[in-house]
Structure 1
Amino acid sequence: MAFFKRELSPVAIFERALKDKQATRRKLDERLVVAEKALDEQRMLAETLAKAGASNAQLDRAEAKMRVVEDKAKTLRAAVAECDEQIVLAERALGEAVAQRDRDKAANEIEAVAAAIEQAVPRFEIGAAALVDAVTRSKPVMSEATRFGADVDEIRREVLAMAELICWELRSAAVRTRAGNANIALLAPPEIRQLPPPESDRQMVYTLSPLTWREGEEPKRAAAFTMVALPKGLLPAALQHQHVDYLNARRVQTLMHVHGSGQLQVEPGADDPALVDLDALASEAQASPQADVA
């Protein structure tokens, strides 16, 4: 004896309702076939009596029987039509329930990723802190080790800020997915461009304008609203002219909520009139100390 009944999911409820409607439709159809056959027989009988010159009483009885059978057939036809409408509604409800189940499943997976990141962040922070401590706790510390410790601590802060931001984006995406308002990028994620590894002479920043610069003989370009590892020699001029900002800046977090982290941004063309030449800005800043003061 079952003391506890398993609670049915919305999909199972609508599937059961649809099956019940379809079974009712089959039974009504069988009864309608019988009624139509009986109506044909009554019509043939009335016709035969009329042709044979039957009495008025016999014809009255035959017509009365025919009307009874005809009314029954008409009632069954109306019931079949109503049942067909109910089946259409049940199929639509089942389709919506299946779609919602799939959206909930996708949203749960997205939230699981966010939870996994949040669980991994403390371990990363502890490991980064231990690495910095291992480098700097001894008295005879070389300048290279000091720079390395500073770089690790800087990367730690950036990773923590980005982890908080990406968890917010993931949970927002899960809410949109559950509500059926997710953008196409969630349904078919593109290949993510790998960010360059952090280097001691670079700083990860967020662009506010489309930028271009050169590294050796190779021209580099970055679209607006994109995370990029910018050479530190170009950083002061880019910050001064409001073309970039740090990842943990409040306005950058807002812009990331609006535009994302730049993974879907298309690299601007070399002839884009909006491109800002960071090499030219850095040269102007070095040539005019007053510009640095300003």
Structure 2
Amino acid sequence: MVFFKRELSPVEIFERALKDKQAARQRLTERLVVAERALEEKRVVAERLAKAGASNGQLDRAEAKMQAVEHKAKALRASVAECDEQIVLAERAFADAVAQRDRDRAANEIEAVASAIEQAVPRFEIGAAALVDAVTRGRAALTEASRFAADVDDIRREVLSAAELICWELRTAATRTRAGNINVALLAPPEVRQLPAPETDRQMIYTLNPLTWREGEEVKRVPAFTMTALPKALLPLALAHQHVDYLNARRVQTLMHVHGSGPQQSEPTPDDPALVDLDALAAQPEETPRADVA
């Protein structure tokens, strides 16, 4: 019968190496204790012979024996010191392997959450579509029913967009966790994300410059390098002037690793010279300015 040897994990490899170094040091320490004891005995003998007035030959032999044991003890002390250095390196490598294992486990759990969301999204979409179909199937078109169907469809689109975004954020967090660039609290409560008003069709994008625009009586201002829900009416203009970009754009992924994906900056002030007014930009003649993205 052929037995297959299980491949050791990095943690097990470094742990075994550390234990081997510790065992080797223990053996060297025991030999050093014996050598130190023998050296002390040789010194006592040499001192006794010298006090008793022994011949030169006797003293030479006693000194030779003492020096041989002394050299052996010195070599053993150097070996113990070298072994101590190797143990420090082995402990550091073992600790790094344990930390990487823990990061990998955390990253796997985050990716599992993203996968679960992706698997649940189609079922949600089918259920929402079935609900809208059930409301609008009847011949009698009631205003309340039509409004309810429109609300359900708006919520469906918003949930699909939010699910896509949160899956991307989770996978990005998993990658950064695996690389040791972020500390993720798996049991922390999720952030409460305020959904945009149903009557405004929006697109989640990433800002490359601080932006401002008006929605009715409210003035919106967002800093640069932040995810925000921009009204789709302003999206083509902002994209054309490269003041925003889509979340799956390659440069956006790099900027998110550098600046983060959350609202880490404070809201820009109205007199910020870098603030771009999208409403004023829309009223200007057609130009081809380009945003200065560092």
TM-score (norm. length: structure 1): 0.74
Distance, in Å, in 1 between the alignment partners of 2:237 and 2:25 is: 73
> Aligned partners of 2:8 and 2:190: how far apart in 1?
39
- How far did 1:243 drift? 6.7
Report the counterpart of residue 194 of structure 1 in structure 2. 192
Q: Does 1:95 align with 2:120?
A: no
Q: Secondary structure in 1 aligned to 2:197?
A: coil
CA distance in 2, matches of 1:213, 1:194: 24
Within the candidate set 252, 257, 262, 2:253 is matched to 257
Shift of 1:91: 0.8
SS of the equivalent of 1:67 reads helix
Q: Say if 1:273 and 1:239 are closer, same or farther in 2 by CA, change over 3 A.
A: same
Partner residue, 1:73:
73
Q: Which residue of 1 aligns with 2:292?
A: none
Q: Any residues of structure 2 matched to 1:144-155 within 5 Å, and which?
A: 145-155=145-155
Q: Trace 1:124-273 onto structure 2 (pairs within 5 A).
A: 124-143=124-143, 145-180=145-180, 182-183=181-182, 186=184, 194-205=192-203, 206=205, 208=207, 209=209, 210-213=211-214, 215-216=216-217, 219-224=219-224, 225-228=226-229, 230=231, 236=233, 238-239=234-235, 241-242=237-238, 251-254=246-249, 257-259=253-255, 262-273=262-273
Pairwise CA RMSD of aligned residues? 3.8
Kindly provide the amino acid, as one letter, of the partner of residue 194 in structure 1. Answer: V
2:291 aligned partner:
none
Task: Give yes or no for contact 2:238–2:278 (8 Å, CA) kept in 1.
Answer: no
SS in 2 for 1:253: coil
Taking a change above 3 Å as real, the CA distance of residues 281 and 149 of structure 1, as seen in their structure-2 partners, is: farther
Q: Would the aligned equivalents of 1:165 and 1:253 in 2 still touch at CA under 8 Å?
A: no
**Unaligned segments of structure 1, at least 5 residues:** none
The alignment partner of 1:195 has SS state of coil
More helix per residue: 1
1:199-218 Cα shifts (integer Å, max 9, x gaps) = 332222336451143654x5
Checking the alignment, whether the CA contact within 8 Å between 2:227 and 2:262 is kept in structure 1 is yes
| Equivalent position SS for 2:201 | strand
CA distance in 1, matches of 2:89, 2:279: 65
SS at match of 1:213: strand
Contact 2:196–2:229 under 8 Å retained in 1: no
SS, match of residue 221 in structure 2: strand
More displaced stretch, 251-260 vs 30-39: 251-260
Cα deviation for residue 144 of structure 1 reads 5.4
Q: CA deviation at 1:104?
A: 0.8
TM-score (structure 2 length as normaliser): 0.74
Aligned residues: 273
**Structure 2 residue identity aligned to 1:113:** V
Tell me how far apart the structure 2 counterparts of residues 256 and 116 of structure 1 sit (CA, whole Å).
25
- Amino-acid identity (%): 61
Contact 1:193–1:263, Cα closer than 8 Å, also in 2: no
Query: Offset of 1:96 from its aligned partner?
Result: 1.1
